[in-house]
Amino acid sequence: NIEHDMAWFTRQKTARDAAPPGQEKSVRTEGLWLKCDGCRQIIWRKALEETLQVCPKCGFHFKINAVARLRMLFDNAEWIEHDRTLMSTDPLEFVDQRSYKERLAAMKKATSLNDAIVSASGKLNGRPVNICVLELKFIGGSVGTVVGEVLTRAVERSAESRHPLIVVSASGGMRMQEGMVSLVQMAKV
């Protein structure tokens, strides 16, 4: 039957395509494919994961978040996180389009982080290291009091343990919502 043979082409449903009575048939493909910003080709997400977020066709590097970076760096993707409970206050009670408190709450929800940095220790190629990774999605990876304090503690932890410290910086600079308090972090660190 030519109608049945052409169903795939004309998108006509056949009896075998129908869902069981009372149920709706659905196919989940959302998120399985991505378009490369470099070559505009469609890439299977699994292929991208296997190449550590580098397009296998053109070599374009996709953005990765702080936790994904740690997974790539630490042996067996295992680490101990430090200073996770530190959270920014609103020392200036800053408001622009919305309050700084609202902005912090939105960023915490969006990234599952308390601030723009993750500090961890573990092994990299069998060697104990401390790694701090900034999260660009958290207010542009900007440096405020928490980022400054976490970096300072990481430096002190590394000096005490005599383990190397690696900082993966992805920052838009100092956090304007904390004013001079954030600028002092440069001198502190």
* pLDDT tens track for 135-171: 999 999 999 999 999 999 999 999 999 999 999 998 8
Q: For the beta carbon of residue 84, count every other beta carbon within 10 angstroms.
A: 14
Beta bridge partners of 61: 54
Contacts of 39 (CB under 8 A, 6+ apart): 55, 57, 58, 60
Closest CA to 182 of 149, 153, 157: 149
pLDDT digit string (tens) for 34-79? 899 999 999 999 989 889 899 999 999 999 999 999 999 999 999 9
Its sign, for the CA torsion 42, 48, 50, 56, is: positive
C-alpha to C-alpha distance for 78 and 72, rounded to whole angstroms? 10
Burial of 187: CB neighbours in 10 Å, binned 0-12, 13-18, 19+: exposed
Residue ranges of alpha helices (H) inside the chain are: 2-5, 7-10, 45-50, 66-73, 100-111, 145-161, 179-188
Look over the chain and give the mean of its residue pLDDT values, rounded to a whole number: 88
